[in-house]
Amino acid sequence: MNEEVHFLTDYVGAISGRQFVRKGVNKLMKENVKCIFVIGGIGNMVNSTARDILELYAMQEWEWESDQYQFPEIPNTIDENTIVFVYGWFGLWNDDLCSVDDAKTVCKNLLQILKKTLNVKIIIGMREDLYTKYKNELEDYSPLFDHKMIIDVENLSDECLNYFDEQTQYCIIPGCRCQELTHDMLKGGGDEMIGLLLKVKVISKHHYSDVIDSYIKDNDILKAMKVHFTALEKNENPIYEWLMYICLKGHFSRTESFDKDLVNKMKFGIKLSSFDEHYVHLRRYIRVSVLDPQNFSMEDTRYVFWDPFIYICAFHHLYEKDRSKIMNHCNVDAILQLVRPTSLENNTRSSYIEVFADDEDVELFRKRFRELELDLRNKYKEHPLVNDAPSTEIEQ
Ligand SMILES: [Zn+2]
């Protein structure tokens, strides 16, 4: 990753990082603690803090390996002397509403692993609102959730805002209005679901006049990033198209076939050979996600947005631009996690990051849903996007 961005990531990450990481490692070092449960709101850096705990623990415990698994993919057995981190519970970007059974299976397997394996440690990372929602369903697996670590960065907000002030104080971008962006704007606004830490990180990484002007006007980080993607389409079209390709597919990987059909349907001009991860402007938006860190190879590298929230912003942008493009071409997982029928449009906290589809758009998705494999159709048959469809349509 580009050095400047890496520095910013590390610095802002370090604000929450230092004290929580140390606390987490100390907890795991205790002989009787085999699993810790890290939770917090969106933007409190739950996953990055948990990853730091994972790495620091593996560094301190000589000859221990570390592993990461994206829910619900976890193996039945884990080698001795391994610490594992399980993330993405109920959906990588948001709750897919139909994964409680998966969660129970994963919990059951994790308890089995703890029973069978002598030297193993587990870190579970989960969004706090989702834990609250499914707490009763997960009651039977309570040993996994006993050692809770809540990442509450409220009391770190001063440090975070000071960091922001340092950034703006030395800003040399001509005409940049970042100094007009006040602490009250960052703390208030319609984006209260998103933690202050993430907001500061987003504005630091994407320190562009369109983002800053929009934030000053509306105090809404999701809106500001949507404005930014719109500007990007005009000003840096190849990057924009690659980012939208990643949004539609969920990730980019050179080992998977390049979806020319999708590129044509979206009227994009990108070619496989034009993907350049060394290009600084592209790297500002993405990070490497390694599926199997033990057998790391460049070919297996996946590129994803640097934070799930940036994915959500890109998704919102594309959805606002052309809802049918999302419903027809976007990966089904993202639709199940982020799109709800308008009948569910209300003021629950997560409705800030969800988008709403009218009957026409829902029908576009149902057509695709009917072509999915039977086990997926069964798993999601109660999903609000499909559950009131006539049963014959789903069964066929
Ligand atoms: Zn500035």
User: Which of 124, 150, 176 corresponds to the end of one domain?
Assistant: 150
Mean pLDDT of the chain: 90
Q: What is the pLDDT of residues 146-185, one digit of tens each?
A: 999 998 877 678 888 888 999 899 999 999 999 999 999 9
13: domain CATH number is 3.40.50
CA of 121 to the centre of ligand 1 (A): 43
- Phi, psi (deg, nearest 5) at residue 7: -60, -45
Residue 5: pLDDT over 60: no
Q: Is residue 151 within 8 Å of residue 16, measured between CB atoms?
A: yes
372, with CB counted inside 10 A (0-12, 13-18, 19+), is middle
Distance CA 180, CA 176 (A): 9
CA of 215 to the centre of ligand 1 (A): 12
Distance CA 225, CA 175 (A): 19
Q: Do residue 22 and residue 142 come from a single domain?
A: yes
Residue 7: pLDDT over 50: no
pLDDT (0 to 100) of residue 189: 84
CA of 108 to the centre of ligand 1 (A): 49
CA of 216 to the centre of ligand 1 (A): 12
Residue 300: pLDDT over 90: no
Distance CA 167, CA 164 (A): 5
Residue % of the chain over a pLDDT of 70? 91
Q: Do residue 129 and residue 263 come from a single domain?
A: no
pLDDT (0 to 100) of residue 244: 98
Q: Is residue 130 within 8 Å of residue 95, measured between CB atoms?
A: yes
pLDDT (0 to 100) of residue 14: 59
Q: Do residue 115 and residue 175 come from a single domain?
A: no
User: Which of 213, 229, 245 corresponds to the end of one domain?
Assistant: 229
Average pLDDT for 231-255: 96
Amino acid sitting at position 50: A
Distance CA 37, CA 126 (A): 8
Q: Do residue 325 and residue 213 come from a single domain?
A: no
Residue % of the chain over a pLDDT of 90? 75
Is the model more confident about 158 or about 99? 99
Residue 143: pLDDT over 70: yes
Q: Do residue 108 and residue 189 come from a single domain?
A: no
CA of 250 to the centre of ligand 1 (A): 31
Q: Do residue 73 and residue 162 come from a single domain?
A: no
169, with CB counted inside 10 A (0-12, 13-18, 19+), is exposed
Residue 1: pLDDT over 50: no
CA of 322 to the centre of ligand 1 (A): 31
Residue 337: pLDDT over 80: yes
* Residue 37 belongs to domain spanning: 3-150
Q: What is the pLDDT of residues 11-68, one digit of tens each?
A: 555 555 678 889 999 999 999 999 999 999 988 889 988 998 999 999 999 889 999 9
Q: Is residue 48 within 8 Å of residue 80, measured between CB atoms?
A: no
Lowest mean pLDDT among 143-152, 253-262, 293-302: 293-302
Contacts with 105 (C-beta within 8 Å, 6 or more apart), sequence order: 72
How many domains does one find in the chain? 3
Given the structure tokens 């970042």, which residue do they identify?
A: 178
Q: Do residue 174 and residue 97 come from a single domain?
A: no
User: Which of 6, 12, 82 is closest to 44 using CA atoms?
Assistant: 12
Lowest mean pLDDT among 109-113, 141-145, 342-346, 375-379: 342-346
CA of 175 to the centre of ligand 1 (A): 8
CA of 303 to the centre of ligand 1 (A): 28
Both structure tokens of 263 = 């590129």
Residue 394: pLDDT over 60: no
User: Which of 197, 213, 229 corresponds to the end of one domain?
Assistant: 229
Residue 290: pLDDT over 80: no
> With bands split at pLDDT 50, 70 and 90, how would you rate the model's confidence at 139?
very high
User: Which of 212, 229, 230 is closest to 221 using CA atoms?
Assistant: 212
Q: What is the pLDDT of residues 183-229, one digit of tens each?
A: 999 998 889 899 888 999 899 999 999 999 999 999 999 999 999 99
Q: Do residue 279 and residue 206 come from a single domain?
A: no
pLDDT (0 to 100) of residue 349: 79
